[in-house]
Structure 1
Amino acid sequence: MSNEIEIGVGKRARGVFGFDDVAIVPDRRTRDHRDVSVSWEIDAFTFDTPFIAAPMDSVVSPTSAITIGKLGGLGVLDLEGLWTRYENPEVLLAEIAELPAERATKRMQEIYSAPIIPELVTARIAEIRAAGVPVAAALSPQRTQELSDTVVAAGVDIFVIRGTTVSAEHVSKESEPLNLKKFIYELDVPVIVGGAATYTTALHLMRTGAAGVLVGFGGGAASNTRATLGIHAPMATAVADVAGARRDYMVESGGRYVQVIADGGLGSSGDIVKAIACGADAVMLGTTLARATDAPGHGYHWGAEAYHPQVPRGRRVEVGTVGTFEEIFHGPASSSEGTANLTGALRRAMATTGYSDLKEFQRAPLVTRRSM
């Protein structure tokens, strides 16, 4: 059944849903929350929680990546951030947090104009690896071909190619685009790629051999993409569409399972729960983890869009602090706003609705009060 509506005589639009538009329905069975598993697997790696820290300087440093890894999550270091441009970026991180709002964007553009130093890429990856946790690092599609050999040689376990939107068929008259299928085939480590927001885009990315697809487009608190470019992807529909692409790709490929990772619009534990119920295997968190007292952003949060040299599509935002990384991951929580003890909230949601693991929970029934 089509859910298109007419927005004018010459235009129709598809009705879509965000996480606020849907809710999970309890069923006939409940479980003890201690019997619920929230572990997540990708390739040969198993994690105690499905929480991935986004590759943003306000969230992931080598130190916080190690902390997050020891808490059962996965921290992804941005290899185009301050940690690969400066030997001692802590002073600059503190400066960014203290900038007045009217000067923040311009000063961040200046700070991030420093060149990336390949030797620092190697050193940061080595620091995380020495701690004995899985090493994940991210590059934009534009930088991937330039630095991927350095990254792989340094010993990365999971490689992330993350942009505002990533396609398998980028067209450019200026330069040779990244051939994702060839690149992933020749790489010896699993690759997560995105963002994708539609069934077709996700299906094409899955056909490149990606181990995981990031779902989202301009949905984070630090992003102004919707206001700047007029582009937005309501996340409940986007995750469900990409999960549908995963299902169809499994049939097409003879059983190959690609991880679906929600990336954006996840401001609370309730949003995380709904993302998994919509079909996500894991979630990539920015704002939620930037609120940690031991996060490198000092209570502020920003992404690469905030310091783009020509068209900034984000901003530095004050998110405050709610507790340590450990409290955000595992509690105890001191408020009922869904900003801490994310693992506990997910466990209880699954137990309340009777599901024992994440893949089962993807089948949870959803309701909406919206009519098309």
Structure 2
Amino acid sequence: MSIEIEIGRGKRGRRSYSLDDIAIVPSRRTRDPEDVSLDWQIDAFRFDVPFLGAPMDSVTSPATAIAMGKLGGLGVLDLEGLWTRYEDPQPYLDEISRLSTEQATARMRQIYAEPVKAELITARINEIRDAGVTVAGALSPQRTQEFWRTVVDAGVDLFVIRGTTVSAEHVSSTREPLNLKQFIYELDVPVIVGGASTYTASLHLMRTGAAGVLVGFGGGAAMTTRRTLGIHAPMATAIADVHAARRDYMDESGGRYVHVIADGGLGLSGDIIKAFAMGADAVMLASALARAAEAPGRGFHWGPEAHHTELPRGRRVDIGTVAPLEQLLFGPGHTAIGEVNLAGALRRAMATTGYLDLKEFQRVEVVVSPYQAQMEI
């Protein structure tokens, strides 16, 4: 039962929680970390760790997508980023990392003004496929109708439709919107779609036939959506709401399972762990992986909102470089703040609370602990 709070005489609102507001509670049983499984499978594709590299130019390049695949995860390439606009985007990535804060937005707008090229989409997908790993590429809803055939013909394994928010019922008076249900029905590959942050929105996305739903809105390190638009969805509540929608959709559909993938605000291992505790099946990581030595952003991080042509809702942020990708994922750790050995932290948290796999861990007890973040500073 949700309880609404009176904000003022004319408005009431539901109390919601960020991941910082909750804490995981140990149970009566503990396990050996070596016995814990982090396996994740979506459709026919199985992964050793439930981590997806976010489709952002500062996080995922063809090379890092290949590296993620060989390490047991999944790298998702942004198919309308610099890698599909330029034959050699490295000089532009280097330039972005050298820009001053004052110059970054204007210059990035100029760099990203170069059109996306279908032949480069094909070339990048082929490059990842030739390495023998699962191929995942992402388009925004606006670009999907233009390039989806190119993406599918190139041999993508998982198609991601990702935006700040994605609905199953976009209404427009000026253009024909993407019919998600028809599009997914006619497609031959599994589709992951989002973001969504409410029970109702995610339930509608599940009904389109999506294999997975991305959960999140305005919570990433490089996003200023909350400040610019006043819109924000605290992640703990958002994940729990979408988890409940998945449960109800399973009853409605006769057992069809749609994966809940947390996306945004997962910069440290503790955030990642609590996302699973709230009901996520996997997590899409941005700033957490942008700190890798191999990350194309070279210690800087930004998303497509940072170079929006009309209303930027993000920024390029300096997050630094902490470790090579393999060490960042699997350790050994050399800091005590949750930046390195992300998989090891998840495995140990599950062992400490007595759970052997991710589905079981979704049942772990949590408490509301709003003082936690202040105590840890």
Q: In structure 2, what is the equivalent of residue 111 of structure 1?
A: 111
Q: In structure 2, what is the equivalent of residue 242 of structure 1?
A: 242
Letter paired with 1:359: K
Q: In structure 2, what is the equivalent of residue 269 of structure 1?
A: 269
Q: In structure 2, what is the equivalent of residue 102 of structure 1?
A: 102
Q: Which runs of 5+ in 2 are unaligned?
A: 372-377
SS at match of 2:195: strand
Q: In structure 1, what is the equivalent of residue 72 of structure 2?
A: 72
Q: In structure 1, what is the equivalent of residue 148 of structure 2?
A: 148
Q: In structure 2, what is the equivalent of residue 56 of structure 1?
A: 56
Contact 2:20 2:370 in 1 (8 A): no
SS at match of 1:75: strand
Q: In structure 2, what is the equivalent of residue 315 of structure 1?
A: 315
Q: In structure 2, what is the equivalent of residue 220 of structure 1?
A: 220
Q: Deviations over 1:195-232 (max 9, x none)?
A: 00000000000000000000000100000000000000
Q: In structure 2, what is the equivalent of residue 37 of structure 1?
A: 37
Mapped partners of 1:39, 1:346: distance in 2: 12
SS at match of 1:364: coil
Q: In structure 2, what is the equivalent of residue 358 of structure 1?
A: 358
Q: In structure 2, what is the equivalent of residue 10 of structure 1?
A: 10
Instruction: Give the 4+ runs in structure 1 shifted more than 4 A.
Output: none
SS at match of 1:52: strand
Letter paired with 1:289: L
**Cα distance, 1:281–1:106 mapped onto 2, change above 3 Å:** same
Mapped partners of 1:285, 1:167: distance in 2: 22
Letter paired with 1:320: G
Mapped partners of 1:68, 1:90: distance in 2: 20
Task: Tell me the number of residue pairs that the alignment of Structure 1 and Structure 2 aligns.
Answer: 371
SS at match of 1:127: helix
Aligned-pair distance for 1:3?
Answer: 1.6
Mapped partners of 1:319, 1:354: distance in 2: 34
Aligned-pair distance for 1:369?
Answer: 3.3
Q: Give the share of equivalent positions with the same residue, in percent.
A: 71
Mapped partners of 2:145, 2:93: distance in 1: 28
Q: In structure 2, what is the equivalent of residue 204 of structure 1?
A: 204
Letter paired with 1:356: L
Mapped partners of 1:161, 1:94: distance in 2: 27
Mapped partners of 1:325, 1:246: distance in 2: 32
Q: In structure 2, what is the equivalent of residue 19 of structure 1?
A: 19
Mapped partners of 1:369, 1:305: distance in 2: 32
Q: Deviations over 1:291-333 (max 9, x none)?
A: 0011000100000000000000000000001101101111111
Mapped partners of 1:88, 1:341: distance in 2: 32
Letter paired with 1:206: M
Letter paired with 1:277: A
Aligned-pair distance for 1:2?
Answer: 3.4
Q: In structure 2, what is the equivalent of residue 286 of structure 1?
A: 286
Mapped partners of 2:326, 2:161: distance in 1: 27
| Backbone CA RMSD of aligned residues | 0.8
Q: In structure 2, what is the equivalent of residue 166 of structure 1?
A: 166
Letter paired with 1:344: G
TM-score, with structure 1 as normaliser: 0.99
Letter paired with 2:207: R
Q: In structure 2, what is the equivalent of residue 304 of structure 1?
A: 304
Aligned-pair distance for 1:267?
Answer: 1.3
Contact 2:306 2:313 in 1 (8 A): yes
SS at match of 2:334: coil
Letter paired with 2:306: A
Letter paired with 1:238: A
Contact 2:36 2:355 in 1 (8 A): yes
Letter paired with 1:116: V
Mapped partners of 2:205, 2:25: distance in 1: 32
Letter paired with 2:43: D
